[in-house]
Amino acid sequence: MITLYGAMASRAHRVVWMLNELGVSFEHEPTSFQDGSTRRPEFLAVNPNGRVPVLVDGDFPLFESLAINLYLAKKHGGPLAPADLREDALATQWSFWVVTEVEKPLLFTSANRKLFAEAARNEEEAQMALAKLDRPFKVLDAHLADRPHLLGERFTVADLNVATVMDLAPQSGVSLTAWPRVDEWLQRCLSRPAAADWKSVSFSIPRPPTPLGVLRMFL
Ligand SMILES: N[C@@H](CCC(=O)N[C@@H](CS)C(=O)NCC(=O)O)C(=O)O
């Protein structure tokens, strides 16, 4: 039995998309990360980081959303899974790439365009974070010039992992028209039926009251 902890309005949606793609049934514990639930001893016993998502497959707990997806793809096989060692390495590469190069500045942009309450948004901060995204977005756009998906012809866990981070862009008023291949690829990924659950979810995050608090949130 697989149990996934984490509300849809959290990074748990990344794993829900993967489980839906694979057609794997699971129990969903929609643990909120905003009401103190992730600080409770019972939750910390499952994930000592106090964060969602965490997946428990039988007696095997695993945290980190994109690592969970790589595990699920490899466990269940099929077209989403890496077909060989090189594809495995590339799926890992793109997953690390998106969390290290894209996730934080994109989240910071989104916070200042949509996720913070309107009065707490700061367009200058959004522009600053957006400027950091130009380099990785250009890399992705160039990579997609001669292939429809990250590993070539088929949609794989690499596309899913990168798209689950990039999906903050259209949700938060970040236009991708300057990177047209990224824009098209993302729309293709997000129009997959297995991604549908996520698209209707909306959420907000409170802006920390001090500049230091903001730094702490995004560093
Ligand atoms: N790198 C982790 C990040 C997990 C994470 O930050 N989750 C947020 C919700 S989306 C959380 O649980 N925050 C609660 C907290 O930081 O206390 C992953 O991708 O799984």
Q: Which domain holds residue 62?
A: 2-76
Q: For a pocket test of ligand 1, which of 11, 15, 106 has the largest count of ligand atoms closer than 8 A to its C-beta? A: 11
Distance, CA of 176 to CA of 100 (rounded, Å): 19
pLDDT at site 217: 87
pLDDT at site 171: 82
pLDDT at site 198: 73
Nearest CA to ligand 1 atom 6: 51
CA–centroid distance, residue 186 to ligand 1 (Å): 23
Sign of torsion, CA 75 80 85 87? negative
Return the exposure string of 176-189: e unless at least 16 CB atoms fall within 10 Å of the residue's CB, then b: beebebbbebbeeb
- 21 and 62 in a common domain: yes
Ligand 1 pocket residue status of 37, Cβ below 6 Å: no
- 8 and 62 in a common domain: yes
- 89 and 71 in a common domain: no
Contacts with 66 (C-beta within 8 Å, 6 or more apart), sequence order: 14, 95, 98, 99, 161, 164
Which residues of the chain carry a pLDDT beneath 70?
A: 199
Ligand 1 pocket residue status of 10, Cβ below 6 Å: yes
As for how many domains the chain has, the answer is 2
- 179 and 98 in a common domain: yes
CA–centroid distance, residue 34 to ligand 1 (Å): 10
pLDDT at site 219: 78
Contacts with 91 (C-beta within 8 Å, 6 or more apart), sequence order: 70, 73, 82, 150, 151, 156, 157, 158, 161
Q: For a pocket test of ligand 1, which of 33, 99, 216 has the largest count of ligand atoms closer than 8 A to its C-beta? A: 33
- CATH of residue 64's domain is 3.40.30.10
CA–centroid distance, residue 115 to ligand 1 (Å): 15
Contacts with 141 (C-beta within 8 Å, 6 or more apart), sequence order: 179, 180, 181, 182
pLDDT at site 30: 96
CA–centroid distance, residue 84 to ligand 1 (Å): 30
The answer to whether position 25 is within a domain reads: yes
Return the exposure string of 118-128: e unless at least 16 CB atoms fall within 10 Å of the residue's CB, then b: eebeeeebbee
3-state secondary structure 31-87: CCCCCCHHHCHHHHHHCCCCCCCEEEECCEEEECHHHHHHHHHHHHCCCCCCCCHHH
